[in-house]
Amino acid sequence: MPFNKVVLNAKEACSDINDGATLLLGGFGLCGIPENCISELVKKGIKNLTCISNNAGVDDFGLGLLLYKKQIKKMISSYVGENEEFERQMLSGELEVELIPQGTLATRCLASGYGMPAVFTPAGVGTEVASGKEVRNFNGKNYLMEYAFDADFAIVKAWKGDPMGNLVFRATSRNFNPLMAMAGKITIAEVENLVPLGELNPDEIHTPGIYVHRIFQGKHFEKRIEQRTVRTR
């Protein structure tokens, strides 16, 4: 079956990710992050990574694990408030950081997956985010030109997937995952449930398998909750 994209595990999926790679990593906070692949990248010990991800994890989970081992050279994120080690490395200059608006981050992934070199957005006009960027006026309003991402690998986490790489996400763990899945030169998907071909309803697929190159059944998902908030009965 030429379209069988199933690999054994995170180790095989990440085997050709090397020092200096640029990675798109799905997730919002700790919700919908590719836990298996992050663990594998930590284990591999590769360095000088450029990581594009909305957040940087927390001190002891998610991308925080890669930061702690100083494997990340540059982070491109929108919000990094929950990670002390991140803040320390950034303020000391050890870590290069580019903070960009969340919608810009999402749309630069979308542009990449849609084959568009750039998009125009009003986010950041008149702020330091606009520095060095082309400004265009449409209908009386200013917009910044933002380029599509050009990343070596996209690493995403899905709820369900099939051997052809079709993906279905669950609830708000969808977030950046389908966008980043579209934007990688090589896209790796780790899934909670790898189901047989034909089991996913074509009407309900969020990411068509054409965007996905490798897929595997993830193990031991911790799915840590960052802010557990409840109400009383």
Partner 1 sequence: MAIDKTGIAKRIAQEVKDASYVNLGIGIPTLVANYIPKDRDVVLQSENGLLGMGPFPYEGEEDADLINAGKQTITTLPGSAFFDSAMSFGMIRAQKVDLTILGAMEVSENGDIANWKVPGKLVKGMGGAMDLVASAKNIIVAMQHCDKAGNSKLLSRCSLPLTGVRCVKKIVTDLAVLEVRDGAFHLLERAPGVSVEEIVSKTAGKLVVPAEVPEMNIT
Residues in contact with partner 1 by CB under 8 A are 28-32, 54, 77-82, 87, 90-91, 97, 99-107, 109-110, 121-129, 159, 169-179, 206, 223-233
Minimum distance, C-beta of residue 1 to partner 1, in the bound complex (Å): 29
Our CB check for partner 1 shows the closer of 46 and 187 to be: 187
Task: Please identify which residue in the block is written with the tokens 């050709």.
Answer: 16
Minimum distance, C-beta of residue 47 to partner 1, in the bound complex (Å): 24
Report the alpha-carbon distance of residue 44 to residue 171 in Å, rounded.
Answer: 31
Amino acid at 97: V
- For residues 10 and 33, is the Cβ–Cβ distance under 8 A? no
Minimum distance, C-beta of residue 176 to partner 1, in the bound complex (Å): 5
Tell me how crowded residue 23 is: count the other CB atoms within 10 A of its CB.
Answer: 26
Our CB check for partner 1 shows the closer of 102 and 217 to be: 102
Our CB check for partner 1 shows the closer of 163 and 208 to be: 208
Give the angle 187-79-125 at the CA atoms, nearest 5°: 100
Minimum distance, C-beta of residue 39 to partner 1, in the bound complex (Å): 17
Laid out side by side, the sheet with 135-138 consists of 118-121, 141-147, 135-138
Report the alpha-carbon distance of residue 91 to residue 214 in Å, rounded.
Answer: 37
Our CB check for partner 1 shows the closer of 196 and 220 to be: 220
Task: Please identify which residue in the block is written with the tokens 């950046």.
Answer: 176
Minimum distance, C-beta of residue 64 to partner 1, in the bound complex (Å): 14
Q: Which helix (H) or strand (E) holds 66?
A: helix 64-68
Report the alpha-carbon distance of residue 66 to residue 72 in Å, rounded.
Answer: 6
Residues 6 or more apart whose CB falls under 8 angstroms from that of 115 comprise none
Report the alpha-carbon distance of residue 202 to residue 190 in Å, rounded.
Answer: 20
Q: Which two tokens stand for residue 125?
A: 């006009």
Amino acid at 2: P
Minimum distance, C-beta of residue 42 to partner 1, in the bound complex (Å): 21
Minimum distance, C-beta of residue 187 to partner 1, in the bound complex (Å): 15
Our CB check for partner 1 shows the closer of 40 and 146 to be: 146
Our CB check for partner 1 shows the closer of 24 and 46 to be: 24
Our CB check for partner 1 shows the closer of 44 and 120 to be: 120
